[in-house]
Amino acid sequence: MLQITKRLPLMMGALVAAGTLSTAAFAQDNSFVQGDSSVTIDVENAVIKDSALEETVKKGFSRDTGLYPKLHIGGSAQMGYNKDVDGVDDGINFTFGLLLSGALDLVKNFGNSGALEWQNALIIEDQMSKTPTIDSFIKSKDKLDFQSTVLYRIPKVEWLGPFLRFQLTTSIFPGSYISATPVTVRFYQEDTAIDGKADTKLIKTQEIDAQESIKLASAGIPLTLKESVGLFMDPYQSVPFSASFKVGVAGQELYADGDSYTAFDDDDSDAYYDVRYLGDSWTTSVGVEGSLNFKGVLVDCFNWELYGRIYYPFEGNFDKEKYDEVDRIHAEVMAKISVKISDWGSFDYSLEIKRDPFVTLDWQITNNILFTVGFDPWKGEKVAID
């Protein structure tokens, strides 16, 4: 209790800052690739013991040969009640989520000949929400992300080397749309621009009643595969602050079945909800990619992370007339602040911004403040191998 009391001023300050940031963003359903960044604190000596920062420190330049397994199982919940508040619907808002984060690294240290690392990570995040205007729970977040990276640390320049990475991103559950009022859903062709919704581009319309759900995508759709090869740089690795960069050539494949659509509605004042056809085949591309990752700890219970990625495709089977030089840019930004109140609980603020033009030209933004709980069966300690 004493530990929690000492941390209350810091917790309140972090949450106020997070709340200020949250007013600048709005929530949409989207998928984002990032790992868990919670920190477990040893109360007696305040030594960081696990999670993302331990991974940063341990994978620093001297990890011994062995296996390094990690597993975090957690959940989150949020509830609010409003009555007679201007501009806010009366009733209860409730959100709950599940997080499963695992990693398995295989390290082979050759001493003066460098080191080879095979890093694997799996993240599953799902979140359901209940609002006063919708009778049923709706999916507010749904992501499955798997990454596998092989890198080689050059002898005497261990912060530099080549890497090869594969990534799979998809959803677990089907996607749907439900409205609190009657609405007309307009289905447009795949090549329709957000400012070009002419009748010639219209596939069909469908009337749905209030509280009626309409399916927009199957489970596992869209499916995105990414491959990249290039150079990594870890110029600074420490507990208070670490920095990592990657640059290289990348490929990307997007698959959608024949009955999947994505929202691209920019007018909430009309009686329509507009969706665009995703296609029924693979969209492939090759281009250049760059990413950066900063993370650190300000005090023993407060950690943060910032991640960014840009991918620019210059060749592929996508419509080059539809996507000019600027419209082709893929971008991801993730920021997270976490205040640990115990070994099993923390207050977290996360902001995720994503632009995936082969899915939608809109910027997708997710922004949450949550209380999360969880435990770590495996914390990344080395398991010796022959």
Among 55-64, 159-168, 308-317, 321-330, the minimum mean pLDDT is found in 55-64
In our burial notation (b when 16+ CB lie closer than 10 A, e otherwise), range 117-149 reads bebbbbbebbbbbbbbebeeebbbbbbbbbbeb
The residue-averaged pLDDT of 301-319 equals 93
pLDDT of residue 20: 40
The residue-averaged pLDDT of 263-276 equals 80
Residue 347 CB neighbours (<10 A)? 18
The span from the CA of 9 to the CA of 16, in Å, is: 11
pLDDT tens-place string over residues 335-359: 999 998 888 888 889 899 999 988 8
**Residue carrying structure tokens 């975090």:** 72
H/E element holding 13?
helix 2-22
Integer angstrom CA distances of residue 163 from 54, 116, 168, 308: 21, 10, 17, 18
Q: Do the beta carbons of residue 299 and residue 337 sit within 8 Å?
A: no
pLDDT > 90? residue 70: yes
The span from the CA of 20 to the CA of 13, in Å, is: 11
Q: Do the beta carbons of residue 119 and residue 105 sit within 8 Å?
A: yes
pLDDT > 70? residue 292: yes
The span from the CA of 260 to the CA of 209, in Å, is: 21
pLDDT of residue 251: 96
Q: Please give the domain boundaries of the chain with CATH numbers for all domains.
A: 2-172+221-257+281-379 (2.40.230)
Confidence band, pLDDT 50/70/90 cuts, at residue 121: very high
pLDDT tens-place string over residues 220-247: 998 999 999 999 999 888 878 899 999 9
pLDDT tens-place string over residues 181-233: 899 999 998 878 777 788 888 999 999 999 999 999 989 998 999 999 999 99
Integer angstrom CA distances of residue 309 from 76, 168, 298, 329, 333: 27, 16, 24, 10, 7
Structure tokens at 377: 């069966």
pLDDT > 90? residue 318: no
Confidence band, pLDDT 50/70/90 cuts, at residue 255: very high
Confidence band, pLDDT 50/70/90 cuts, at residue 81: confident
Smallest Cα–Cα separation from 50: which of 377, 299, 294? 377
| Average of per-residue pLDDT values in the chain | 80
The span from the CA of 86 to the CA of 352, in Å, is: 28
pLDDT > 90? residue 118: yes
pLDDT of residue 87: 65
**Residue carrying structure tokens 């596939």:** 203
pLDDT tens-place string over residues 124-164: 999 999 888 888 888 888 999 999 999 999 988 889 999 99
